[in-house]
Structure 1
Amino acid sequence: MSFLTRFTSGFTGRKVGTDRFGNVYYESRAKQAVYGRTRRWALFAKGNDPTVVPPEWHAWLHHITAEPLPETKRYAWQQEHLPNLTGTAHSYRPTGHDYVGGTRRTTTGDYEAWTPGS
């Protein structure tokens, strides 16, 4: 976020909370005339990547819930939230990808390449 956004967030909004990743969430003090509801936004702890918002806060940001969902209730089957890794060195690369070696397994023989005009 820019310096101006961080500076004005304290004046135009009220701090609602902070998540376990260090992101800070704000809500405007006054309702918007067009929508009749408050504006909600987040100041990210690291960079400007909205994929680091956990699901509990995502629901609140998009006015799905009136209050942020509790982050303390975790089940054994729930995985920890991960940011989007697309475009990074940690992104998923299947076998045959150029960065993994570029070789793929051979086809089964029922594949016939299309050639124009045949």
Structure 2
Amino acid sequence: MSLLLRLTSALSGRRVGTDRFGNAYYESRRLHPTDRLPRRWVVYAGRPEASAVPPEWWGWLHHTTDAPLPETPLYPWQKDHRPNLTGTPQAYRPSGHDYVGGRRRPTSGDYEAWTPGQ
């Protein structure tokens, strides 16, 4: 996090809370003149990545809720939030993906590529 962002957050913002990933959330002390809402922002604990904001805090950041939702799972089917893994070694790759061998199981009536001149 840059020194300027730390200074701006400390002077013009009020710290609202921290999520389980260590991201800190701030709200401006004054209302914005155009929409009469306080500005809300996040100071990331690590690399700035928008998908690292859990859904409970996303709703608060976008003024969907007045207060952040509880971070504890309410239902047994709820899974923990994971950031976007696209472009990392942990990204999802189905069995036919080039990085996993590039071969998929044949299907009934499998596709046959068109060749010009036939």
Percent of paired sites with the same residue: 61
Q: CA deviation at 1:35?
A: 1.0
Change (3 A) 1:117 1:6: farther
TM-score in terms of structure 1 length: 0.89
- Across the aligned residues of Structure 1 and Structure 2, the Cα RMSD in angstroms comes to 1.7
Structure 1 residue ranges (4+ consecutive) displaced by more than 6 angstroms after TM superposition:
none
Which residue identity is paired with 1:49?
Answer: E
TM-score in terms of structure 2 length: 0.89
Aligned counterparts, 1:87-98, within 5 A: 87-98=87-98
Residue aligning to 1:43? 43
Change (3 A) 1:110 1:104: closer
Q: State the alpha-carbon separation in 1 of the partners of residues 48 and 8 from structure 2.
A: 17
Q: Secondary structure at the match of 1:35?
A: coil
Q: Structure 2: state its 5+ residue gaps.
A: none
Q: State the alpha-carbon separation in 2 of the partners of residues 12 and 3 from structure 1.
A: 14
Q: CA deviation at 1:70?
A: 1.7
Residue aligning to 1:20? 20
Greater strand share, structure number: 2
Residue aligning to 2:76? 76
Residue aligning to 2:106? 106
Which residue identity is paired with 2:2?
Answer: S
Residue aligning to 1:9? 9
After superposition, the C-alpha distances for 1:3-56 in whole angstroms (9 at most, x for unaligned) are: 211221010100000111111000000000011110000001111011111111
Q: Structure 1: state its 5+ residue gaps.
A: none
Q: CA deviation at 1:113?
A: 2.5
Q: CA deviation at 1:108?
A: 2.9
Aligned residues: 118
Change (3 A) 1:14 1:110: closer
Q: State the alpha-carbon separation in 1 of the partners of residues 52 and 63 from structure 2.
A: 18
Q: CA deviation at 1:96?
A: 1.6
Q: CA deviation at 1:74?
A: 3.2
Q: CA deviation at 1:73?
A: 5.0
Q: Secondary structure at the match of 1:41?
A: strand
Change (3 A) 1:21 1:104: same
